[in-house]
Amino acid sequence: PGNVRELQHAIERAVILANSSVLDADAFLFPNAKQQNTNGLILEDYNLQNAEKQLILKVLERTEGNISRAAKQLGLTRAALYRRLEKYGF
């Protein structure tokens, strides 16, 4: 990463996409490094908005569609989660 903001985004992306509680060098994305994750997604153009959308989907699956539990796990209010669901067309 070239600056603090890019480093912050790289860390956020790594945490969201991590498959375990330990982050290693492979968890971080760096410019010009075309990579695929285990879901087959090309991560080169993966942005925070796409990551948020995928995280919401995963949590909704994990909570079997329970909005209250999903919002709590995401650290959001139910209203905020509903706004994001509307934003992403769910």
pLDDT one-digit tens code per residue, 4-24: 887 788 788 877 777 777 877
pLDDT above 70: percentage of residues in the chain: 76
- Would you state the pLDDT for residue 41? 55
Which domains can be identified in the chain, with CATH numbers? 1-46 (no CATH), 47-90 (1.10.10.60)
Specify whether the backbone of 11 is left (phi greater than 0), alpha (psi in -120 to 50) or beta: alpha
Contact 41, 53 (CB under 8 A): no
